[in-house]
Chains A and B, each alone.
Chain A
Amino acid sequence: MNIKLLYQLSVRNIFRYKRRNIMLFAAIAVAVAGVSSMNTLIRGFQADMLDSALSNLTGHIKVHAPGYRDDPSIERGFLLEDGFQPNIPADKLLGWAPRIRVPAVIMSERETRGVQLVGVKPEAELISFLADVPIDGEGLSGTQDGRILIGAELARQLETKVGRRLVMITQGADGLNRERGFRIAGIYDAQGTGLEKVYVFTGLARLQQMLNSEAVTEVSVRLKAEPQKTSVKQLLSRTFVNLEVMDWQELEPQAAAMYLFADGAIYIWFILMMSALTFGLVNTLVATVMERVRELGMLRALGMRNRMVISQVVLESTIIMSVGVVVGLLGGYLIYLSMSDGIDLSSFSAGVEMAGMSTHLQPVFLVDDFVLVASMSLVLGFLASIYPAWRAVKIKPLDAMRR
């Protein structure tokens, strides 16, 4: 088979119908650019969602006592030895934090609300959203700090401010209620009001004193990268034999589902845009074949094999597709670069925050996604050429010559 001949035939053919083919290149390029730049946005959304799911006091892996998740109380806590360190290799561990998290009622002079009271070791909370949020007033100084940090939305609902006292009621280790006044050290402003309404932070040791317990209710571990989760989870379940060791996908099934959905969305976008395009491509190729009936008939009469005819049409389609894809990917990358500072969604902040996203969407460029778009486009180009090639083969030399 003479590849060079086929190539020559295809390229000449493409140049013969300049206007039509330029339109086709443009259509492919625009579609590919659209799909590939959209992919960077979807990946950005996905990364953002993973980050907020992990920072939402979850971490990659969390350890609870059995039963805590059904009945969160200090009675379902567990003891950590003094100077406990999880046996996770340093190249995988980003940080870990012990916490107490119990439901509580918080009261101001005017209002009463239900919240989650969280006892933290402030220096360990670099792994959660607490490290990133702006705080009006002061942060907690240590585990012995008996003041509280509350969210801006909660402060608004309770009509209170920094330096005021609030009363909290929660259940102690003996099952009896404990109530105490807490002074507000600071008010944090998290993204969205969901977290702000729920979490109230205080020093871990002081909360243990109040609850009359030495236990913690959870240990949260944040890793340097998502794929290390499985091995570390096994490692931890050997350390905490009688406890529940769960990863974020088990703890936050909704976020995990959204994460998977974003993966799927990439394919959905691709199929939507490219399948529309494919019909255009099929149409163009059929038209070129039909315009060349005499020429193809002549070639057949001169002894060109069916296989060669098919290869010629397929090659032509592939060349058109590859040129379009290369231009399109370049365009997609340029669009990504122009957005690389992130997109400000704050004008839609109410809706966006409700969906648990940040108001700043930062696109993420993954080479894999571009390779995927390119290879899937080429496959489509190949599939699109099958029908025109079949039409070309069906031309009978005798009929063609008589026209």
Chain B
Amino acid sequence: MRIKFCFILFTWPMLLSLVGSASANDLDAPLDIVALVTKAIDQTRGLSSYAEMSMLIQRPEWSRSSTLNAWTRGREESLIRFTAPARDVGNALLKQGPKMWTFNPKINRSIRLPNSMMSQSWAGSDFSYNDLSRSDKYLRHYELIHVSTQEVENHKIYTIDAIPFEDAPVVWGKEQMLIRDDFVLTELTYYDQDLVPLKQMKSLQIGELDGRMMATILRMVDLESPDQYTEIRYHKMDFDVELEDRLFTVFSLQSGRTR
């Protein structure tokens, strides 16, 4: 959209220098990046969702796999509960808007996570609590810039840079998203402020679950030690399910119910 304005406002010599960047956009009618990103976020959530998935944490010396169930409603509410292995069963995480709680059945306590812990690792994986709570932050704290469009296997893939605003509470230099034209987020890379990539989340397999196209295998890699990664596989997904209000409460977090 910005580039279109340039066509009108600037004179011919200026335009020449813009051709390079404009040509990528020529493939397409003006792209509404905000809508694209919003839809990509909502794609895996629906109005509400229920998911069964497994998680593999790979480390040089060991690996661990577990299974979990997750419920989401809207962009702000979610509940994740471990169902295997036995020693992790019942460990759970509740998110309500900006607040998060964890529950550990062994100590029978739920703990409200302080903001200072949000950037730390969740359940020993390569995901931070912040990665899980990704809601509308791209719309509030980032300037979204459409960098390029590629054509791969009958799909357009948009590369979008999300650059945090000056006083945004974001430590990254930028985040780069690759979003397919059917709103599947295929890649997300976190760069530090020297624009060196630090973490990358990649969709290894894309498939249809309950009528929606989505990444069914996701892998988060710590690029500074590439032999460490965390992989999430979705096995079952129900969208737009009826969920009771009480599911997303601290009480329900502690009750340990699975449905």
Contact = CB atoms under 8 A, between A and B. Distances in A.
Interface string B34-58: 0000000000000000000000000
Q: How many A residues touch the partner, as a band?
A: 20 to 34
A336 B190 CA distance: 60
Interface string B113-131: 0111001100000000000
Interface stretch (A173-181, A314-322, A342-350): A173-181
A164 B193 contact: yes
Contact of B171 (A109, A114, A177): A109
Contacts, number: 50
A165 interface: yes
B211 interface: no
B115 A105 contact: yes
Interface of A is mostly: strand
Interface residues of B, number: 19
Contacts of B120: 112
Given A112-B119, A169-B115, A180 B169 contact: yes
A181 B164 contact: yes
Nearest to A171: B115
Interface of B is mostly: loop
Contacts of A164: 193
A107 interface: yes
Contacts of B138: none
A105 B173 CA distance: 19
Interface string A74-110: 0000000000000000000000000000000101111
A333 interface: no
B213 interface: no
B172 A183 contact: no
Contact of B115 (A110, A165, A179): A179
A66 B173 CA distance: 42
B96 to A, nearest CB: 14
Contacts of A179: 115, 169
Nearest to B190: A109
Interface string B140-166: 000000000000000000000000111
Given A109-B192, A181-B164, A183-B166, A167 B116 contact: no
Nearest to A183: B166
Contacts of A182: 167
B137 to A, nearest CB: 11
A109 B198 CA distance: 9
B169 A181 contact: yes
A172 interface: no
A167 B198 contact: no
Given A105-B116, A169-B115, A181 B193 contact: no
Nearest to A164: B193
A207 interface: no
Nearest to B120: A112
B18 interface: no
Most buried by A among B116, B167, B171: B171
A177 B193 contact: no
B31 interface: no
A165 B141 CA distance: 14
A146 B167 contact: yes
Contact of B169 (A109, A167, A183): A167
A109 B166 contact: no
B6 to A, nearest CB: 29
A146 B120 CA distance: 27
Contact of B116 (A165, A169, A183): A169
Nearest to A206: B167
Contacts of A285: none
Contact of A181 (B114, B119, B168): B168
Nearest to A105: B116
A111 to B, nearest CB: 9
A384 interface: no
B166 A167 contact: no
Interface in A233-248: none
B171 A107 contact: yes
Contacts of B111: none
B169 to A, nearest CB: 4
B175 to A, nearest CB: 11
A166 interface: yes
Interface of A: 105, 107-110, 112, 114, 146, 160, 164-167, 169, 177, 179-183
Given A109-B172, A109-B193, A110-B198, 20 more contacts: A105-B116, A107-B171, A108-B171, A109-B171, A109-B192, A110-B192, A112-B120, A114-B116, A146-B167, A165-B171, A166-B171, A167-B169, A167-B171, A169-B169, A177-B115, A180-B169, A181-B168, A181-B170, A181-B171, A182-B167
19 contacts: A105-B116, A107-B116, A107-B171, A109-B171, A109-B172, A109-B192, A109-B193, A109-B198, A110-B198, A160-B193, A164-B193, A165-B164, A165-B166, A166-B171, A167-B169, A179-B115, A179-B169, A181-B167, A181-B168
* CB-CB nearest 10 A-B residue pairs: A179-B169, A105-B116, A109-B192, A169-B115, A167-B169, A109-B171, A164-B193, A181-B167, A180-B167, A181-B168
